[in-house]
Amino acid sequence: MSVGNLLGQLLLRLGAALDGALPQTAKYRIASVLASVVFVAWQTGRENAINNMSHVLGKPAQHPETQRVAKKSMENYSWYLADFLSWMRMTPKRLQSRVREFNGEEHIAEALQAGKGAIFVSGHFGLWDLGGAMLAQRFPVLIPVDELQNGAMNWIACRVRERLGIDTVPAEIGLRAMLRQLQSNRVVGLLFDRPMTGRGVPVTFFGSRAHLPSGPAALALRTGAPLVMCQCLRLKNNGLAVTVYPPIYAVASDDEKQDIQTTMQQITDQLEEVIRSCPEQWYMFRAMWPQTTTAGLPTEG
């Protein structure tokens, strides 16, 4: 088991044990300490995060700001995990009370007006599950999920999302369910920022070549459903700022490969805008781009 997976399990178990017993601020402090330890101990995740942030910020991997943002992203991810169990007690009213901004809500109705459903897309950014929960208060939402290695943790993750009103389906068998969902003019949610070096669709991402999954574009071209970027940002007061972007409509031609690449580039450009808004809330500990330098140990601060 990697150190990163261990962090996830530790924080989920901590959340299960302490949920309701400690104030949220205390859980965040514990999570921050664990994140600092993991950032030093997990060499692969640390170096990937630093190299990724080097591309995002346009600064060298050794630059203090690059390392600060990479470390902060680990801390923010630990807060996300510490929050996760408390969402079992989340009610629609409590969720709504945390929303300080909801921008672009009109794009939801626009995306669904053709009756072909909508494919909401995002990355591992902010509080993406709560963004899905906000949508689920308005429309049925289905997301395909990768099963966790630990069966108990997988069960917990599914139950939390169910409590938030989100339907889930195992990713490996999810295509039929997604097609039915879209045919019923409902919402499918996809995270698409998993690096697929050498196997995925080539896109320009923060000025460099990256490879991302073709799934969102292929599904949009097959069904005619528009692609809609959704962002859920954690604010300093622990409130939420939700932003829904204008729909992107995939256009089919005689060149399917080019159609997929063009569509993926369009949503990648939007994801880049999302990440630029707050790089510290992008949780990417896989190598999005090939490493060109050794990131090394984090600097102080």
C-alpha to C-alpha distance for 207 and 4, rounded to whole angstroms? 28
- Nearest-angstrom CA–CA distance, 71 and 66: 9
Q: What is the average pLDDT value for the chain, to the nearest integer?
A: 90
Query: Where would I find the H helices in the chain?
Result: 3-18, 24-41, 43-57, 64-84, 92-98, 106-112, 128-136, 151-163, 175-183, 215-223, 256-277
Q: Residues, the chain, total?
A: 301
pTM of the model: 0.90
Extract the tokens encoding 78: 């630990």
Q: What is the pLDDT of residues 247-288, one digit of tens each?
A: 999 999 999 999 999 999 999 999 999 999 999 999 999 999
Most confident of 143-152, 158-167, 262-271: 262-271
- Section 72-92 average pLDDT: 87
Residue 7: what pLDDT? 62
pLDDT of residue 86: 80
What pLDDT is recorded for position 180? 97
Q: Is the pLDDT reported for residue 150 higher than 80?
A: no
226-263: b (≥16 Cβ within 10 Å) or e: bbbbbbbbbeeeeebbbbbbebbebeeeeeeeebbbbb
For residue 101, count CB atoms less than 10 angstroms from its CB and return exposed for 0-12, middle for 13-18, buried for 19 or more: exposed
pLDDT tops 90 at residue 59: yes
pLDDT tier at 182, thresholds 50, 70, 90: very high
pLDDT tens per residue, range 194-228? 999 878 999 999 999 999 999 999 999 999 999 99
For residue 155, the model assigns a pLDDT of 76
pLDDT in the model for residue 93 = 87
Question: What local confidence, expressed as pLDDT, does residue 301 receive?
Answer: 45
